[in-house]
Amino acid sequence: MLSIGPVRSRTGPANKNTGQDMGKEQAARKAIVRGEGETRQRILQAALRHFAAASFDEASLRDIAGDVGVDVAYVHRCFGSKEGLFREVLDAADETVNLAGLGPEMLTETLARLIFEQPSVPLAAEVDPFLIFVHSLASQKAGGLVGERMERNFLDPIRHGFGHPGAFQATMIGSLLIGLGLLRNLLRLPAATGIDDAAAEAMIRDAIRALAALKAPADPAAAD
């Protein structure tokens, strides 16, 4: 699931790194397994950086390939297409949080913490997965791919975790968290940031519990 925690940086992949960022990049390089497939992993690592800095349509396969020192044809051989590469970027970003199998209380605690925990993608530690999500919204094609992933890895675990046969309560919980992530961590609006983290997290937990307890109204057509 693409994390919605605090955003690290809004800078592009070509900007000069700080010493801390350099340390994160070194850690990410260690995540690459040496041997067969190493170049493929480096392409994926470069793609994570580019898709976190630009929309799906703006991110260039030529630039991604250039970062690794290969040609675009090699990227196509490895991933099939730009969409195939983006799907694997989403796979890598999804490694940050796993909601599957959590019960109601643990799920509530985990979801509430998402707003405050700074995520890390193992293959590219300097990349914020929330920025991949935000930039993907500008593209119908990428937005559809992200929507599929969110349905499977975010909304479905919420729905099953709270025992709901329907999906609307899960959608409301997801909307709450994504909206707060945007307002607090990306836009940093004073109304969203001017509260102590612990107090904010407690309020989010209460809101999640309240939304999870809502019952969908009966369908009038079903009574006929």
Domain residue ranges in the chain: 19-214
Using CA atoms, how far apart are residues 164 and 18, in angstroms rounded to an integer?
46
Residue of higher predicted confidence among 19 and 111: 111
The H-or-E segment that residue 84 falls in is helix 82-93
SS3 124: strand
- The CATH label, of 3.30.160.110, 3.10.20.30, 1.10.357.10, 3.50.50.60, for the domain at 19-214 is 1.10.357.10
Does residue 223 have a pLDDT over 70?
no
Structure tokens at 2: 């693409």
Q: Rounded to 5, what percent of the chain is helix, strand, coil?
A: 65, 0, 35
Residue of higher predicted confidence among 108 and 217: 108
128: which DSSP letter? -
pTM higher than 0.85? no
Using CA atoms, how far apart are residues 43 and 26, in angstroms rounded to an integer?
16
The string of pLDDT tens digits covering residues 33-51 is 434 489 999 999 999 999 9
